[in-house]
């Protein structure tokens, strides 16, 4: 699938599979034995675990060690304090997914100010520039993910219906791009639909926010959740209401994949390729440490997942056999 979105400064994407190291650079990296710290919004999600696996494997291929992995638990204050600490620690580079654009900017800028290389995932904090404050932003095409989610939801929503967006109420480029693209796709292709919005600041609020959205909009006939964990909270709220509202979301986590395969409320998923994104972040980190200039925005396309291809998509995304629940659901569907 083509990459349709632009980077945080309007950059056109360079696909991840076009960014690599020469043999000379690979040998040089192995001789340097770089130390890298990774700062994540969470380490608990399926996405985060696979993203980290891709980074560790790729950095290890060039004899670079991931010496610390920090779980910020979606707490920007913790991220700020950890980044400021890392600025003074003996690491060569930091890979970080900024939780907030403005509040986290100075702490991220401190990494570059301390002479270390900074590679960003998904989001560039406000005022930070590539080549000056960071090496590169590595991301999935989040605009494309929003388009996929809209396209997968549209067939399940009746003419003149109303769809909800369960949005992340934090200044976060990736999820904003998904919502913008979802709305633009619907406005262009399904102008008959009304769109309403609920937002959460913490994933634990997703169920409560969805319940309020249902109460305020009893005619709601579809929902887009900006990633899989809040999508399952939304699904719980919808089931408790006694309704069967179709949902699409982003990220092929185990729970949403199983719900999709079993004919549940999840009707489609715009999947990222987190292992490949982590691998691309690892390559960008090595390039930066060698004083090369990787593209300022490196992106990967999304993958459209339905009940018909969820088993195959799972194996592509997670590089592992599909779990028994998915295989059982396909057998039941084919019988």
Mean pLDDT computed over 7-21: 93
Q: Is the pTM higher than 0.85?
A: yes
The pLDDT value recorded for residue 54 is 96
The pLDDT value recorded for residue 46 is 84
Q: Which residues contact 332 (CB under 8 A, 6 or more apart)?
A: none
Q: Give me the numbers of helices (H) and strands (E) for the chain, helices first please.
A: 12, 13
Three-state secondary structure call for residue 334 = helix
pLDDT tens column, 206-233: 999 999 999 999 999 999 999 999 999 9
pLDDT tens column, 91-133: 999 999 998 778 899 999 999 999 999 999 998 988 999 999 9
Q: Which tops the pLDDT comparison, 329 or 257? A: 257
Report yes or no: 199 and 34 within 8 Å, Cβ to Cβ.
no
Mean pLDDT computed over 130-145: 96
pLDDT tens column, 262-289: 999 999 999 999 999 999 999 999 999 9
Report yes or no: 123 and 8 within 8 Å, Cβ to Cβ.
yes
The pLDDT value recorded for residue 207 is 98
The pLDDT value recorded for residue 335 is 62
Q: Which tops the pLDDT comparison, 81 or 202? A: 81
Which domains are present in the chain?
14-138+274-300 (3.40.50.2300), 142-272+305-334 (3.40.50.2300)
pLDDT tens column, 38-61: 999 999 988 899 999 999 999 999
């Amino acid at each position: 699938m083509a990459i349709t979105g632009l980077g945080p400064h309007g950059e056109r994407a360079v696909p991840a599979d076009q960014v690599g190291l020469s043999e000379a650079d690979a040998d040089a990296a192995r001789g340097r034995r770089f130390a890298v710290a990774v700062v994540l919004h969470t380490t608990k999600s399926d996405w985060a675990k696979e993203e980290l696996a891709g980074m560790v494997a790729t950095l290890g291929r060039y004899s670079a060690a991931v010496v610390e992995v920090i779980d910020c638990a979606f707490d920007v204050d913790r991220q700020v304090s950890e980044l400021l600490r890392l600025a003074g620690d003996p690491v060569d580079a930091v890979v970080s997914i900024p939780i907030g654009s403005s509040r986290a900017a100075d702490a991220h800028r401190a990494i570059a100010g301390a002479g270390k290389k900074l590679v960003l995932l998904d989001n560039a904090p406000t005022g930070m520039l590539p080549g000056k404050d960071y090496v590169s932003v590595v991301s999935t095409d989040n605009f494309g993910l929003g388009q996929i989610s809209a396209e997968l939801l549209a067939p399940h929503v009746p003419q003149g219906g109303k769809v909800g967006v369960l949005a992340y109420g934090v200044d976060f480029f990736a999820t904003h791009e998904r919502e913008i693209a979802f709305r633009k796709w619907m406005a262009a292709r399904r102008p008959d639909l009304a769109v309403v919005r609920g937002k959460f600041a913490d994933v634990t609020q997703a169920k409560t926010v969805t319940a309020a959205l249902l109460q305020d909009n009893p005619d709601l006939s579809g929902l887009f959740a900006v990633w899989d964990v809040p999508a399952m909270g939304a699904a719980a709220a919808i089931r408790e209401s006694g309704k069967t509202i179709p949902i699409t979301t982003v990220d092929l986590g185990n729970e949403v994949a199983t719900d999709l395969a079993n004919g549940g409320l999840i009707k489609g998923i715009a999947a990222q390729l987190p292992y490949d994104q982590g691998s691309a972040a690892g390559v960008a980190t090595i390039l930066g440490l060698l004083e090369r200039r990787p593209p300022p925005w490196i992106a990967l396309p999304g993958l459209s997942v339905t009940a018909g291809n969820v088993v195959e998509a799972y194996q592509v995304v997670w590089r592992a056999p599909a779990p028994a629940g998915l295989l059982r659901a396909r057998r039941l569907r084919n019988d």
